[in-house]
Each structure stands twice: as structure tokens, then as C-alpha cells.
Structure 1
Amino acid sequence: MITSLLVTAATQVNPDEVVTNFEQTLLLIMVFVIMFGLGAGLTPRDFKLALKRPQGLIIGFVTQFGIMPLLAFGLIMLFLFQLDPAYAIPVAFGALLMGAVPAGTTSNIFTYFSKGNLALSVIMTTNSTLWAILMTPLALAIYGSFIFTQDSQLEIPFANIVATLVLMLLLPVIGGMTLRRYSANIGAIMELLGGLIGVFFILFLIATWVPRNWALLASTPWQTYTVAIGLGLFGILIAYTIARLIRLHPANARTIGLETGIQNGPLAIAIVLATFANDPNLGLILIVPAMYSLFIVIVATFVTFWFRRANTAEEQKIPNLL
């Protein structure tokens, strides 16, 4: 009975009130600039180094597109499917999308403060970003086939998602790399601007989206909060544990953990806005990507403090394996 009332209240939210037209445009522009800044920080030398030492790329690919979609699927089945399908299905899509998108640029910031391998972090972010054109729709197709049946009344618009990924990922990264090649100074400025906008994005959500959608957040069941928070937390811990078990350098293990668990929340939100702008379930589809983007900052901050307690002097005696 309580869940049904929550579903009714949530689905009656006007999509234009969840995210205004101005906010939709601004969010899409910010994601474009963030990805452009990521590309502006890359040079051909970075790719040559990555090809010479591909272990990090391979491990990062496996953890990013192997662990995270599977983790999202597991959390959906454990928690969301306890709820009314009218609520669970659209929320589950947002959660699955959150697990299928590539790493976010804020992972580079937390890697730096956790004394991780910053070069590896940047290369892993770029690698997962470029692979996302293929792997994000593939993950949605594989796991979505188990979740979204014909009775669910929710179809995954793969063509729109791929088009959004090309527009929001591939084109700005290539544009940033091109700018960096012809103007290193402007490229460096755009790289810094992209990182700053990534931080501003979170502040923007806190200042605008949260207050206006407070009723929706207050009516959100605890299971949804568990999925949104657990996706980042468990993603970091699982990837870090795997990296340590295969005896990677602790700094690289921290990097892989953060790169895996810190997903590109702004991109997930941009995909939802571009694909489901007029859908009456927009508020429900957005809830996990928006909550994840808010809570991952808190989760990553605590994890970073924990990582910084490592004995870095002792770590320096260990050969770097990546």
C-alpha cells in the first residue's frame, strides 16, 4: 500500500519540474565541456605509453565493463525488485545505465588525493570513455534482456543512446585532442576547465535539483538509496580487492578501485535527458543517476581518507607493476 502511494506520487511529477529546459541545456553543455577537457589533456604520447604497458588498460576495461554492470544488475535484483514494478522498472533502467557508463573525470581528482597512479587513472578514464560507445549499449542489451520484458512497458532506445554517446563522448574528446595538438596552452586551459566543471556539476545539482525535487527524494524508498550508494561503494571495494589479490602495486590498486567505482554521473544524466525528456517517468529514471552523482563524492572522500593512511614510504620499495 505504501509503495503504491509512492509510485503514484512519483509518476505524477511533471517532467518539466524535475529538470527545467534551461537546466537540460546547461547540463548537456557541461557534459560536452567535461569530455572536451578530457580530450584536451591527451597527447599521442599518452597512447604510446599505454600500448607499451597495457596491463592497466586491460584490468581497467575488465573491472569497468565487467564488474559495474554486473554489480548494478545484482543490486537491482536484490533491492529494487522488492518494490512495485511501476516504480521499480524505470528506476532500474537508471540504475543499470549508471552501472554501464564509463568512468568519470572526478576519479582523476580522487586518485591524486589518494596517492594513486594519476597517469594510469587518466589513461583508464580515456580508455573506458572511448569503449563506452560500444560497451554501454551492449551492457544495457545483455542485462536489460533479463529486467525489461514485454510486460514492463519500457523499451530501451538503443539508437538514441548510441547517438547521445557519440555526441557527448566521441566528438568532444576528438575535438579536445585536436585542439591540444595545435595549441598546447589552450588545450591545457580546457583540460583544467573540464575538471572544474565536473566539480561544479555536483554543486549545481545540490543547489538546484535537490531543493526542487525534495519531495521526490523524501518519498524514495530506502532500497533505491541502497542501490545508488552501494553501486559506487561496492564498485570501489570490489575492484580494489581484486587488484590487491592479483598482487598489483597498492597505488595502482587504489587507482583501479576509484576508476571502477566512480562512474560518469553527468553522462548518465545527459543520456536520460536526451532520451526520455518527454517521458512521464523521467523523474524515476533520473533518481539513481542523480543520487549516485551526489553520494559518490561523499563515498569517494571517505575512501580517499582510508587510502591515504597507507604506508606510502613502504610502498615506494615495491616495484610498480603497471
Structure 2
Amino acid sequence: MDTIARISNWASKYFALLVIAAAVVAYFFTELSIFSNVINLLLGLVMFGMGLTLRATDFSMVFRKPLHVIVGVATQFTIMPLLALLIVWLFQFPPELAIGIILLGSVPGGTASNVMVYLAKGDLPLSVTMTTLATLLAPVATPLIMYIVASDWLPVNPFDLFLTITQVILLPIILGIIFNSIFSRGVQKVTPALPLVSVTAIILIVMGVVAANADNIVEVGLPVFAAAVLHNGGGYAIGYLLGKLLQIDPAQCRAISMEVGMQNSGLASSLGVTHFSPLAALPGAIFSVWHNISGPILANYWNRKPVKKSTE
């Protein structure tokens, strides 16, 4: 298990480089598109691992600092979809790409944000609480947002989206929590391997989506990448400014910034390929690559800047 833990730590440390390498490989080896057929299974595995790590104390921030959590989660499900809509309008993306980008703005924060907040010396409990709460709200929030915002591009069936998100997000998390409560000792032994499982699953998702869209990447890859930079950077800035408006300490500002800026790109890809088309899943893969570049860069910058300890 020590060897697996070391490999897991190495994979987490070099996650960004691994995702980029996977995308490049998948572009040239299109037979890897076979992984696009199991995206839901892979994402469910990641969410099950997330459930294994959750405890009741992870929700304590909802009661200790409800305003911080509510504002952060509300921003994810309001400002970020609207920002995605603005970017789609500015770039005049075709319907399938527009749907994929709006999906990115409508899904909850990704688990990678928790790692980035930790590296950035941010408020990790706040980050975990926001990720968890937003993920649990996603089965209702994401389909509703998509129906309201994205129906002008392609038909959106909110009930089908609800079922998929429940199957690949909510149920695996609940199963993980139950499994952890029953077999807590066993779970503790395999916990060091969970980051490796998550990293591997995300890499396979990216490879599957990129390989399935290899013919389209040359034509649309650069504009979608530019959209990723704008959406992600806008999320970081908006989240941090909200924290400043709330007059909270820098560690909490960093947590909200990361949570708002980094979306669950795996879920966006899953919903795109399941309910729309492989092209609608492409923004999820490209955003995932950029998130895993920008996140470590911002985390490293903040890591070098001291934070004032909260007096609360």
C-alpha cells in the first residue's frame, strides 16, 4: 500500500502534465475514443471515491459560516452559467459547442478544486463543504439551468439530465458514504489510493473525448480553449471579489475563488456525450486541461503569499 500511496501522490503532483499528455496522445490515437463509451462509469467511480472520504464534519461549515457557503454555491449556479452564455454569444459558437460550454457553467465545482485550495493555503473545510453541497444540489440545479438557458440551441430534457446526474453523481456519493460508515477501517486502508483512481479516471475521460473529436479539434480547439481561459479566469476573479465584498479573510477568499472558477468538467463531458453529441463533450475535455494548468499556477502564486489567520 505504501507503493500505491507514493504513486498516488506522484500522480496528484503531476496531474496537469498527465492530463495534457493524455490529450496529445488521444489526438493522434483516435481508437482511444472507446473510453467515451464508459465516461459515466468512470465519473461514477470518482464520485464513489469522493463519498468514501466524506464525513458529517465536512458539512459543519454550512452551519458555522452559512453565508460564505450559500454565496459561493449560488454564484456557481447563477453567475457562471451567465458568464458561459456571454462567452458563447461573443464567440458565436455553433449549437453543440454552445451547449457544451453552457454545461460547463452549469455544473458544480470539481473535486480538484479542493486540492488546489489546500495548495493555495485556502480554507479547505469551506472548499470541501462548497464542493459537496453544490454536487448534491446538481441533480436539480443543473437540469433547471440548462432548460432555462440552453434550450434555444438544442432541445433540453431536464428530467433526463436529472436521471443521469443522479445515477453518476448522487448515488455513487451516497453509496460511498454508506460504505465508509459500515467499513470505515477498510476504507482507511485504501484511502491513499483514491487520488490515483480519480486521476486515472479523469485522464481516461479526457482521452475518450479528445479522441472522439480529433477531426474537430483543429477547427474549434483554439476558440474553445480561449473560452476556457475566459470562463475559468472570470470565475476566479468573481469568486475572489465576492469574498472581498463579504469582508472575509484571504484564506476564505481563495477557497471561494477556486470553487467558483473550477467546474466538474468530467460531469460536463458526461452529460454532453450522453444527451447531446461527442462534440458537446469536447469543451469539458478542453476545460479540464486548462483547469489543471491554471489551478496549480494560481495555487502556487497564493502559496507563496502569507495569509492572515481567521480570528473567528
TM-score (norm 2): 0.82
Secondary structure of 2:251's partner? Answer: helix
Q: Distance in 2 between matches of 1:193 and 1:166?
A: 25
Which one of 287, 300, 303 corresponds to residue 298 of structure 2?
Answer: 303
User: In the alignment, what sits opposite 2:18?
Assistant: none
Bigger radius of gyration among the two: 1
1:37/1:192 contact within 8 Å kept? no
* Cα 1:246–1:49 shift into 2, 3 Å: closer
Q: Distance in 2 between matches of 1:271 and 1:169?
A: 11
TM-score (norm 1): 0.80
> What are structure 1's unaligned runs of at least 5 residues?
1-16, 149-153, 277-281
Determine whether 1:292 maps to 2:277. no
Q: Distance in 2 between matches of 1:222 and 1:213?
A: 13
> What are structure 2's unaligned runs of at least 5 residues?
1-29
Shift of 1:268: 1.2
Cα distance per residue 1:157-192 (max 9 Å; x no partner): 322211101101110111111111112233345655
User: In the alignment, what sits opposite 1:163?
Assistant: 163
Q: Which amino acid aligns with 2:120?
A: S
- RMSD (CA atoms): 2.3
Cα distance per residue 1:116-171 (max 9 Å; x no partner): 111111111100000111110111122124x42xxxxx211322211101101110
After TM superposition, the structure 1 = structure 2 runs for residues 186-205 of structure 1, keeping only pairs within 5 Å, are 186-188=186-188, 192-204=192-204
* Cα 1:189–1:136 shift into 2, 3 Å: farther
Q: Distance in 1 between matches of 2:112 and 2:192?
A: 12
Shift of 1:197: 3.0
User: In the alignment, what sits opposite 1:111?
Assistant: 117
Q: Distance in 2 between matches of 1:220 and 1:212?
A: 14
Which one of 103, 106, 110 corresponds to residue 100 of structure 1?
Answer: 106
Secondary structure of 2:78's partner? Answer: helix
2:47/2:172 contact within 8 Å kept? yes
Q: Distance in 1 between matches of 2:218 and 2:289?
A: 15
User: In the alignment, what sits opposite 1:64?
Assistant: 76
User: In the alignment, what sits opposite 1:74?
Assistant: 86
Q: Distance in 1 between matches of 2:211 and 2:273?
A: 19
* Cα 1:181–1:241 shift into 2, 3 Å: same
2:164/2:271 contact within 8 Å kept? yes
Q: Distance in 1 between matches of 2:212 and 2:167?
A: 29
Shift of 1:306: 2.0
Shift of 1:93: 0.3
Q: Which amino acid aligns with 1:116?
A: G
Cα distance per residue 1:240-298 (max 9 Å; x no partner): 1221232111001101111111111111111122223xxxxx24212211110111101
> After the TM superposition, which of the residue ranges 226-235 and 46-55 deviates more from structure 2?
46-55
Q: Which amino acid aligns with 2:137?
A: W
Determine whether 1:250 maps to 2:250. yes
2:228/2:287 contact within 8 Å kept? yes
* Cα 1:63–1:188 shift into 2, 3 Å: farther
Q: Distance in 2 between matches of 1:219 and 1:18?
A: 20
* Total equivalences in the alignment: 283
* Cα 1:50–1:186 shift into 2, 3 Å: farther
> After the TM superposition, which of the residue ranges 205-214 and 285-294 deviates more from structure 2?
205-214
Q: Distance in 1 between matches of 2:85 and 2:188?
A: 38
1:34/1:193 contact within 8 Å kept? no
2:62/2:129 contact within 8 Å kept? yes
After TM superposition, the structure 1 = structure 2 runs for residues 20-169 of structure 1, keeping only pairs within 5 Å, are 20=33, 22-79=34-91, 81=92, 88-145=94-151, 147-148=152-153, 154-169=154-169
Which one of 287, 304, 319 corresponds to residue 311 of structure 2?
Answer: 319
Q: Distance in 2 between matches of 1:211 and 1:163?
A: 27
Q: Which amino acid aligns with 2:251?
A: A
